[in-house]
Amino acid sequence: MQAGPSEHPITRASAAIDAALKSVTDANPVFMTTEDKTRSLHELARLESRLAELRLRVMATSEDVADGAAARDIGAWFAFQTRTDLTTARAEARLAYALDRHHPYVARGLREGEVTLPQARVIVRALEALPDDVPAETVAEAEVFLCTKATEFGPRELARLGNRVLDLVAPEIAEAAEARRLADLERHASERTRLTMRRLGDGTTRISGRLSDATASRLATYLEAFANPRIATRQ
């Protein structure tokens, strides 16, 4: 792969990376010192993140490529061209758009090799799960917080932090959001609550219904007390 002098810098960078990798095709790492192996493993991991960010950056602007090939979208085109699973490729395309349009700090972390691709997926998922009415500045604060923690924790731990990131960066907003969520649940339960009783003609009545969790818990308590009365202490 060779790039001409008039080509785009990204094309020239791709050619340079390809040439650099070809230059070590026959290099055997068994002869590296322990220190060199350690340094190389760290640096290669960082380079993987930086290369992934570059690929996603290009993908985010490549709908014209899909259009030119009559593909449904860039994810479908990429899956076919690289023999990648379609679901995975489309998830990568969604991540590319999210980084390009909404999460520049995550993109920068990838670009600098401070955030890995699996970590970026987790962070973006957590940010997109925040309530729609969370202020943009709070979302940005949460993004910076999670990217900072990416230097300490792996994807699983980051996912846990992401689930409660509002509690950590804006507890007052988290409390208000939880109150709204509970109110919505209560309203939803109230709208769907019903209880019917039908006599079967044999001395029994069939009861069916749908209750809120809180009401069902109270009803279960009442029925248990009714069905299992406390035995009076004998005199």
Which pLDDT tens digit goes with each residue over 170-186?
888 867 666 665 565 66
Question: Tens of pLDDT along 135-145?
Answer: 999 999 999 99
d(CA 77, CA 62) in angstroms, rounded, equals 10
Residue 114: strand, helix, or coil: coil
Global pTM value: 0.74
At residue 198, φ and ψ (nearest 5 deg) are: -130, 120
